[in-house]
Amino acid sequence: MRFRPPRQPRSVIGRLQLTSMIDVIFLLLIFFMATTTFSQPESRLSPGLREQRAGAASDLTPQVVDVTREQGRDVFRLGERVFTDRASLTAALADLPRDPGVFVRAADSASVAAVAAALQAARDAGFDKVSYVPAP
């Protein structure tokens, strides 16, 4: 009497299910085809470089707004002028030339709200180039 089932030769590798792998490869192929058609060739991208031209020294120097905290209140300094509120800073910045841009330099003691107010005042005055610079 044989109680064991007859032995069948087993394959060493076994059978791999490739259906899910084929689906993933197909989806990746569609993804790469879709993303490459929407991207612009690098040769057609415009560089962010400015042409060098001769000009006065004032053309090259942007305005610098220093934001500090003195005697428990936030202070904005534009050159030698001192402002304590955003409205007066916006009015002073509106009279300046807008081409060079504005740097907002914040001291370590300045509050985040004061720095944000200085950045917004520069935007409200019509400046397109507004940069944040931490104090050294």
Strand partners, 67: 76, 106
Pairing of strands 102-106, 63-70: parallel
Q: Is the pLDDT of residue 28 over 90?
A: yes
Please give the class, per CATH, of domain 58-134: alpha beta
Domains of the chain, residue spans: 58-134
| Half-sphere CA count of 82, side-chain side, radius 13 A | 6
Q: What's the whole-model pTM score?
A: 0.56
51-75, pLDDT tens digit by residue?
Answer: 666 655 555 577 899 999 999 899 9
